[in-house]
């Protein structure tokens, strides 16, 4: 009875293996630029643990593929093979293919597909064709490059004849270097197992100068009791001629494409996954909790018998409690924080592939990979960054010829930098390419009717234009292949995270995008607004300003709507006390305040009694125990322990426009 299911470990295995693949990819890319033996070792280790894990957890296809990759890496590691572009390429494709397999494994689909089979054959072929490194290195292993593959499959009754396979293997070992792989496919289940029979088979790679006759002599006594095949190592895995042709042509596009498309959905399905926390962060938490307990114990003593003379001590204790609590809160938030390096890591590969495809030379500078971001923000910032990096290589950087003509270095530079500024994280993507094509953008904007003419427009204003919906980059830079990813989508994604994107461009010198992100989504800065004795939090990011209006500044519209003039535009007023049904609120517009708030590019005036103060709010979900409420995005807890609701400005604007339509 086997009651322990290994499926419970699958998730951990997937996570670890995907990390392993990331490490492999990073090392391969480093190797591509000329690396050392340690890199090969780290690639080998990663491949090896994936192979071991996949075999253990019942993914034989994955194990088979990694096995071939591992064999190839083993040759590289032993110096039997020089590392070159083609091997790196092959290994990178293996990484892609394995990622695809992991995606399929997570969704329970069969792992192997045409690509993986192709790749496996290619790897096997490559393993067969050793290309020795250099003659000098070979001196240490004189026998390398020649050898035999022996397939040794004893009949079940061989042991009864007194023949010990181990002895045979020892004899073979005397002839040269051995790589032995046991084949377990014939091993029966435990109840059917006869211990007197031989269930194992071996695939033996013998490298050395020994001739076929010498090997035959070893097996002389068991010839009739086993299936034996001895083939020269070079032709070990006979490549069927037509297959090779197909393999060479198809896989480059096939494997890359399939893996690329398959990776998307898995990334989102991982959303509910776990966070790995550095041990020192946890140690820090434990220390803090320890401190907190000590403080609590100290305060507890006062409860026993409090003497007014101890007041100073009590105050001291309370101050300490406050300090520790704050520190604890910060540390706990830190648990959700991960270095942005995990997002940056995908770019070396992307830049390499893309620049090769476009025939451009690009140097990628990554700065500030250790900058930490909230996990949720981190997961959602990846795609916008990929778009920006793609655009930079595709549209921003020029071809080597153009760069030479412009008097620049042929190698373009793309720089990704992350750093803290104030309470935000800033990510900058800058290139030293041609900069925005001002004329083309203005022409397009005029054609779209966004502006009348480009005269007097600052570079910033021109840059802003490309963020307009429907302003596809493809149409702007007509001479380049447009991917058609609208910059408005990038901006919307970033704004959804509570951040913003700005662009700076100088003709001939390059473009830089600056993404500003909040440190975390779990805490927002807000203003406390009082409405009829109740307290609502308005997020600071959506507040433009607050104004006190005179009663005659309000224009009533037929149907009960109210408008007021703000910087030349008429904005609708939402009276929060009406919206939320608060009693005893101020009714006269000149007795309260109007908060001008903005979301999704629309402005609105929120009428409240008064502003009480600013505060950081830890966002709590209303839906966890209750349900969604229109116009409310969540709740938070005030200093006195009571609950305050957080106003959903975007939701109110939607409600307002729906009401208008009704």
Provide the minimum distance between the beta carbon of 373 and other proteins in the complex, in angstroms, as a whole number: 24
For residue 189, state whether it binds other proteins (rule: CB under 8 A).
Answer: no
Provide the minimum distance between the beta carbon of 294 and other proteins in the complex, in angstroms, as a whole number: 22
Provide the minimum distance between the beta carbon of 41 and other proteins in the complex, in angstroms, as a whole number: 48
Provide the minimum distance between the beta carbon of 281 and other proteins in the complex, in angstroms, as a whole number: 21
Q: How far is CA 580 from CA 262, 521, 538, in A?
A: 46, 25, 14
Which of residues 328 and 629 has its CB atom nearest to other proteins in the complex? 629
For residue 659, state whether it binds other proteins (rule: CB under 8 A).
Answer: yes
For residue 613, state whether it binds other proteins (rule: CB under 8 A).
Answer: no
Alpha-carbon Rg for the chain in angstroms: 34
Task: Give CA–CA dist 264/260, Å, rounded.
Answer: 7
CA dihedral 523, 497, 421, 415 (to 10 degrees): 150
Task: Give CA–CA dist 655/602, Å, rounded.
Answer: 13
Counting residues that bind other proteins (by CB under 8 A) gives: 27
Dihedral-angle region of residue 328 (phi above 0 means left; psi in -120 to 50 means alpha; beta otherwise): alpha
Select from 242-250, 409-417, 566-574, 638-646 the region that touches other proteins (CB under 8 A): 638-646
Provide the minimum distance between the beta carbon of 648 and other proteins in the complex, in angstroms, as a whole number: 11
- Strand 562-566 relative to strand 534-539: parallel, antiparallel, unpaired? unpaired
For residue 630, state whether it binds other proteins (rule: CB under 8 A).
Answer: yes
* Phi, psi for 179 (deg, rounded to 5): -120, 115
Q: Is 189 helix (H, G, I), strand (E, B) or coil?
A: coil
Q: 15-18 long-range contacts, Cβ below 8 Å, gap at least 24?
A: 15/273, 15/274, 16/49, 16/53, 17/49, 17/50, 17/53, 17/54, 17/98, 17/102, 18/99, 18/102
Q: Is 564 helix (H, G, I), strand (E, B) or coil?
A: strand
Select from 413-421, 440-448, 566-574, 642-650 the region that touches other proteins (CB under 8 A): 642-650
CB of 165 closer than 8 Å to CB of 223: no
Footprint on residues 567-586 left by other proteins (CB under 8 A)? 579-582
Footprint on residues 134-153 left by other proteins (CB under 8 A)? none
Provide the minimum distance between the beta carbon of 623 and other proteins in the complex, in angstroms, as a whole number: 9
Which residue in 462, 632, 650, 653 binds other proteins (CB under 8 A)? 632
CA angle 358, 23, 385 (to 5 degrees): 45
DSSP string, 327-367: HHHHHHHHHTEEETHHHHTTHHHHHHHHHHHHT--EEEEEE
Which of residues 551 and 626 has its CB atom nearest to other proteins in the complex? 626
Dihedral-angle region of residue 470 (phi above 0 means left; psi in -120 to 50 means alpha; beta otherwise): left
Which of residues 15 and 562 has its CB atom nearest to other proteins in the complex? 562
Provide the minimum distance between the beta carbon of 566 and other proteins in the complex, in angstroms, as a whole number: 22
Provide the minimum distance between the beta carbon of 585 and other proteins in the complex, in angstroms, as a whole number: 13
Footprint on residues 533-552 left by other proteins (CB under 8 A)? 534
For residue 247, state whether it binds other proteins (rule: CB under 8 A).
Answer: no
For residue 2, state whether it binds other proteins (rule: CB under 8 A).
Answer: no
For residue 637, state whether it binds other proteins (rule: CB under 8 A).
Answer: yes
DSSP letter (8 states) at residue 220: G
For residue 641, state whether it binds other proteins (rule: CB under 8 A).
Answer: yes
Give the H/E segment covering residue 251: helix 251-269
**Residues belonging to the chain:** 662
Which residue in 596, 608, 635, 653 binds other proteins (CB under 8 A)? 635
Provide the minimum distance between the beta carbon of 580 and other proteins in the complex, in angstroms, as a whole number: 4
For residue 560, state whether it binds other proteins (rule: CB under 8 A).
Answer: yes
For residue 559, state whether it binds other proteins (rule: CB under 8 A).
Answer: yes
For residue 326, state whether it binds other proteins (rule: CB under 8 A).
Answer: no
Provide the minimum distance between the beta carbon of 637 and other proteins in the complex, in angstroms, as a whole number: 5
Which of residues 438 and 620 has its CB atom nearest to other proteins in the complex? 620
Which of residues 550 and 627 has its CB atom nearest to other proteins in the complex? 627
For residue 627, state whether it binds other proteins (rule: CB under 8 A).
Answer: yes
Select from 261-269, 281-289, 349-357, 624-632 the region that touches other proteins (CB under 8 A): 624-632
Provide the minimum distance between the beta carbon of 576 and other proteins in the complex, in angstroms, as a whole number: 9
- According to DSSP, the residues that pair with 203 across neighbouring strands are 151, 181
Select from 340-348, 434-442, 491-499, 619-627 the region that touches other proteins (CB under 8 A): 619-627
Dihedral-angle region of residue 320 (phi above 0 means left; psi in -120 to 50 means alpha; beta otherwise): alpha
Closest CA to 335 of 288, 285, 286, 271: 285
CB of 343 closer than 8 Å to CB of 382: yes
Which of residues 217 and 325 has its CB atom nearest to other proteins in the complex? 325
Give me the residues that bind other proteins (CB under 8 A), please. 534, 559-560, 579-582, 620-622, 624-627, 629-632, 635, 637, 641-645, 659, 662
């Amino acid at each position: 009875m086997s009651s322990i299911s290994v499926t419970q470990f699958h998730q951990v295995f997937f996570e670890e293996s995907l990390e392993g693949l990331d490490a492999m990819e990073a090392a391969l890319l480093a190797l591509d630029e000329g690396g050392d033996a340690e890199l090969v070792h780290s690639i080998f280790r990663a491949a090896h643990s994936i192979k071991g894990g996949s075999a253990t957890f019942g993914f034989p296809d994955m194990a088979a593929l990694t096995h071939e990759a591992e064999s190839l890496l083993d040759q590289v590691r032993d110096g039997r093979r020089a590392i070159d572009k083609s091997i790196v390429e092959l290994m990178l494709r293996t990484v892609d293919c394995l990622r695809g397999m992991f995606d399929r494994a997570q969704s329970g689909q069969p792992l192997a597909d045409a690509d993986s089979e192709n790749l496996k054959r290619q790897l096997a072929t490559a393993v067969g064709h050793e290309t020795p490194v250099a003659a000098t290195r070979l001196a240490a292993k004189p026998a390398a490059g020649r050898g035999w593959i022996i397939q040794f499959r004893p009949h079940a009754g061989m042991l009864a004849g007194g023949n010990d396979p181990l002895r045979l293997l020892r004899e073979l070992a005397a002839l040269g270097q051995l790589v032995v792989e046991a084949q377990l496919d014939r091993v029966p289940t435990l109840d059917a197992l006869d211990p007197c029979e031989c269930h194992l088979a071996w695939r033996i790679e013998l490298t050395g100068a020994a001739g076929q006759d010498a090997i035959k002599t070893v097996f002389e006594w068991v010839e009739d009791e086993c299936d034996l095949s001895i083939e020269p190592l070079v032709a070990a895995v006979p490549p069927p001629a037509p297959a090779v042709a197909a393999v060479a042509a198809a896989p480059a596009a096939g494997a890359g494409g399939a893996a690329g498309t398959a990776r998307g959905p898995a990334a989102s399905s991982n959303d509910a996954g776990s966070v790995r926390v550095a041990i020192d962060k946890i140690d820090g938490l434990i220390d803090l909790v320890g401190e907190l307990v000590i403080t609590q114990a100290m305060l507890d003593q006062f409860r026993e018998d409090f003497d007014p003379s101890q007041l100073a001590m009590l105050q001291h204790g309370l101050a300490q409690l406050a300090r520790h609590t704050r520190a604890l809160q910060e540390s706990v938030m830190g648990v959700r924080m991960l270095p942005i390096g995990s997002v940056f890591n995908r770019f070396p590969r992307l830049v390499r592939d893309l620049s090769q495809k476009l025939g451009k030379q690009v140097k990628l500078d990554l700065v500030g990979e250790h900058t930490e971001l909230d996990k949720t923000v981190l997961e959602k910032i990846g795609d916008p960054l990929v778009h920006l990096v793609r655009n930079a290589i595709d549209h921003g950087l020029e071809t080597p010829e153009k760069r030479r003509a412009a008097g620049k270095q042929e190698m373009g530079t793309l720089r990704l930098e992350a750093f803290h500024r104030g309470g935000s994280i800033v990510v900058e993507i800058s290139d030293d390419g041609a900069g925005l094509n001002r004329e083309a953008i203005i022409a397009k904007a005029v054609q779209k009717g966004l502006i009348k003419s480009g005269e007097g427009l600052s570079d910033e204003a021109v840059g802003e234009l490309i963020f307009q919906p429907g302003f596809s980059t493809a149409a702007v830079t007509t001479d380049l292949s447009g991917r058609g990813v609208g910059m408005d989508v990038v901006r919307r994604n970033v704004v959804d995270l509570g951040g913003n994107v700005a662009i700076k461009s100088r003709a001939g010198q390059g473009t830089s995008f600056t993404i500003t992100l909040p440190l975390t989504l779990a805490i927002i800065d807000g203003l406390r607004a009082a409405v009829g004795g109740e307290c609502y939090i308005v997020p600071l990011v959506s507040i433009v300003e607050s104004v006190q209006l005179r009663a005659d500044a309000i224009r009533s519209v037929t149907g009960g709507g109210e408008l007021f003039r703000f910087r030349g535009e008429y904005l609708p007023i939402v009276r929060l006390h009406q919206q939320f049904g608060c009693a005893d609120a101020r009714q006269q517009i000149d007795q309260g305040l109007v908060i001008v708030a903005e979301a999704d590019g629309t402005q609105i005036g929120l009428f409240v009694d008064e502003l009480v103060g600013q505060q950081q709010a830890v966002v709590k979900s209303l839906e966890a125990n209750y349900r969604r409420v229109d116009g409310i995005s969540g709740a938070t807890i005030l200093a006195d322990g009571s609950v305050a609701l957080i106003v959903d400005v975007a939701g109110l604007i939607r409600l307002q426009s729906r009401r208008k339509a009704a």
